[in-house]
Amino acid sequence: MSAEPVAAPTSNWRRYFGWNTDHKVIGVQYMVTTFLFFLLGGLLAVLIRTELARPGQDLVDGTQFNRLFTNHGSLMIFLWIIPVLAGFGNYLIPLMIGAKDMAFPRLNALSYWLIPPAGILMIVSFFVGAADTGWTAYVPLSISAPDGQTLWALSIVLLGVSSILGGINFIATVVTMRAEGLTFGRLPLFVWGMLATALLMVVATPVLSAGLVLVAMDRIAGTLFFSVGVGGDPILWQNLFWFYSHPAVYIMVLPAMGIVSEILPVFARKPIFGYKAIAASSMAIAILGMLVWAHHMFASGMDPRLRIPYMITSMIIAVPTGVKIFSWLGTIWDGKLRFTTPMLFALGFISMFLIGGITGIFLASIPVDLHVTDTYFVVAHLHFVLFGGSVSAVYAGLYYWFPKITGRMYDERLGKAHFWMNFIGTNLAYLPMFLVGLLGMPRRVADYAPEFTSLNFLASIGAFILAISTVPFLYNAIVSWATGPKAEANPWRARTLEWQTTSPPPAHNFPVPPHVTGGPYDYGEQAPSTSLAPAPAAGK
Partner 1 sequence: MTQDAATHSGTFAAGRALGLDHLKLGTWLFLASEVMFFGGLIAAFLHYKVNSPSPQAGLLSVPLVGANTFVLLTSSFTVVQGLAAIRRGKRGGLMAYLALTILLGAAFLAGQAYEFSSLYREGVTLQSSVFGSSFFTLTGFHGMHVFTGLVWASSTLLRAARGHYSAEDHGGVEVFGLYWHFVDIVWIVLFTIIYLV
Beta bridge partners of 375: 442
State the minimum distance, in angstroms, from the CB of residue 276 to partner 1: 18
Q: Which CB sits closer to partner 1, 1 or 538?
A: 1
Q: Which CB sits closer to partner 1, 224 or 370?
A: 224
Are 135 and 212 contacting, i.e. CB atoms less than 8 angstroms apart? Answer: no
Q: Taking contact as CB under 8 A, which single stretch among the options 92-100, 478-486, 498-506, 529-537 is the one that binds partner 1?
A: 92-100
**Nearest CA to 178 among 168, 191, 190, 160?**
191
The CB density around residue 241, as the number of other CB atoms within 10 Å, is 24
State the minimum distance, in angstroms, from the CB of residue 134 to partner 1: 21
Q: Taking contact as CB under 8 A, which single stretch among the options 59-67, 174-182, 188-196, 250-258 is the one that binds partner 1?
A: 174-182
Q: Which CB sits closer to partner 1, 234 or 360?
A: 234
Q: Is the peptide bond before 140 cis (omega within 30 degrees of 0)?
A: yes
Q: Which CB sits closer to partner 1, 67 or 178?
A: 178
Near partner 1 in 416-435, by CB under 8 A: none
> Phi/psi class of residue 334: alpha, beta or left (left: φ > 0; alpha: ψ in -120 to 50)?
left
**Residue selected from 70, 74, 149, 173 as contacting partner 1 according to rule CB under 8 A:** 173
Instruction: Examine residue 206 and tell whether it contacts partner 1 (CB under 8 A).
Output: yes
List helix spans (H) across 177-233.
189-220
State the minimum distance, in angstroms, from the CB of residue 209 to partner 1: 6
Near partner 1 in 444-483, by CB under 8 A: none
Are 459 and 381 contacting, i.e. CB atoms less than 8 angstroms apart? Answer: no
Instruction: Examine residue 167 and tell whether it contacts partner 1 (CB under 8 A).
Output: yes
Size of the site for partner 1 (CB under 8 A): 48
Residues 6+ apart with CB under 8 A from 338: 267, 269
> Phi/psi class of residue 54: alpha, beta or left (left: φ > 0; alpha: ψ in -120 to 50)?
beta
**Residue selected from 21, 50, 64, 223 as contacting partner 1 according to rule CB under 8 A:** 223
The DSSP line for 409-435 is PPPHHHHHHHHHHHHHHHHHHHHHHHH
Q: Taking contact as CB under 8 A, which single stretch among the options 110-118, 144-152, 226-234, 247-255 is the one that binds partner 1?
A: 226-234
Q: How far apart are CA 506 and CA 195, in angstroms?
A: 25
539 alpha-carbon distance from chain centroid = 32
Q: How far apart are CA 539 and CA 373, in angstroms?
A: 41
**Residue selected from 3, 11, 14, 222 as contacting partner 1 according to rule CB under 8 A:** 222
Instruction: Examine residue 197 and tell whether it contacts partner 1 (CB under 8 A).
Output: no
Amino acid at 119: G
The DSSP line for 34-54 is HHHHHHHHHHHHHHHHHHHTS
**Residue selected from 95, 99, 254, 285 as contacting partner 1 according to rule CB under 8 A:** 99
Instruction: Examine residue 204 and tell whether it contacts partner 1 (CB under 8 A).
Output: yes
Instruction: Examine residue 302 and tell whether it contacts partner 1 (CB under 8 A).
Output: no
**Residue selected from 43, 46, 47, 213 as contacting partner 1 according to rule CB under 8 A:** 213
Instruction: Examine residue 96 and tell whether it contacts partner 1 (CB under 8 A).
Output: no
Near partner 1 in 38-57, by CB under 8 A: none
Q: How far apart are CA 207 and CA 195, in angstroms?
A: 19
Q: How far apart are CA 307 and CA 245, in angstroms?
A: 18
Instruction: Examine residue 214 and tell whether it contacts partner 1 (CB under 8 A).
Output: yes
Q: Which CB sits closer to partner 1, 237 or 399?
A: 237
Q: How far apart are CA 175 and CA 233, in angstroms?
A: 41
Q: Which CB sits closer to partner 1, 231 or 528?
A: 231
Are 29 and 112 contacting, i.e. CB atoms less than 8 angstroms apart? Answer: yes
Instruction: Examine residue 159 and tell whether it contacts partner 1 (CB under 8 A).
Output: no
375 DSSP 8-state letter:
B
Q: Which CB sits closer to partner 1, 161 or 315?
A: 161
Instruction: Examine residue 247 and tell whether it contacts partner 1 (CB under 8 A).
Output: no
The DSSP line for 121-143 is HHHHGGGGT---STTTT-TTHHH
Instruction: Examine residue 224 and tell whether it contacts partner 1 (CB under 8 A).
Output: yes
Q: Which CB sits closer to partner 1, 71 or 205?
A: 205
Instruction: Examine residue 185 and tell whether it contacts partner 1 (CB under 8 A).
Output: no
State the minimum distance, in angstroms, from the CB of residue 231 to partner 1: 3
The CB density around residue 413, as the number of other CB atoms within 10 Å, is 11
Contacts with partner 1, residue ranges (CB under 8 A)? 97-100, 103-104, 107, 164, 167-169, 171-173, 175-180, 182, 202-207, 209-211, 213-214, 217, 221-225, 227, 230-233, 236, 239-240, 243, 513
